[in-house]
Amino acid sequence: MSIKPLKKILVIEDDGDIADIMGIALCDKYEVEVKRDGYEVVAQIERFAPDLILLDNYIGQRQAREIIKEIHEVDDHRTIPFVLFSGHENIIQLAENLNATSYLAKPFALDELYKCIDGILAA
């Protein structure tokens, strides 16, 4: 019986508490890396090769649309699914505009996070 490698999730969140909670909540089931700023994301993707990206809409002075644009400039990265999360009242519209795979409105319960991730990675 071979052991299946864990799926990899990159969390991009600048709020330390939320980043820590997400990292802890996901590390039993997935290989997780947490990035607390929106810079050098492409280099981290190259190194880590995530199966899924969880991305806050605002990371410091940067917005998700800027980060997604940088990621998608690399052809191999265009197919990586990403989940946008935000406390913005128009999260649905933001997610649609960015072609996000899914979205989570802050605050969200861990059960919502697990269900969202499982639905994407099971596909």
24-64 pLDDT, tens digit each = 999 999 999 999 999 999 999 999 999 999 999 999 899 99
Q: Which residues are CB-neighbours of 68 under 8 A, at least 6 positions away?
A: 55, 82, 98
Alpha-carbon distance of 70 to 89, in angstroms, equals: 25
Q: What is the pTM of this model?
A: 0.94
- The string of pLDDT tens digits covering residues 55-113 is 999 998 999 999 999 999 999 999 999 999 999 999 999 999 999 999 999 999 999 99
Q: Which residues are CB-neighbours of 113 under 8 A, at least 6 positions away?
A: 22, 25, 26, 104
91: which strand partners?
A: none
Would you say 52 and 121 are in contact if contact means Cβ atoms under 8 Å apart? yes
Alpha-carbon distance of 52 to 103, in angstroms, equals: 13
Q: Selecting from 3.40.50.12280, 1.10.1270.20, 3.40.50.2300, 3.90.1300.10, what CATH number does the domain 8-121 have?
A: 3.40.50.2300
In the prediction, which pLDDT does 3 show? 74
Domain spans of the chain?
8-121
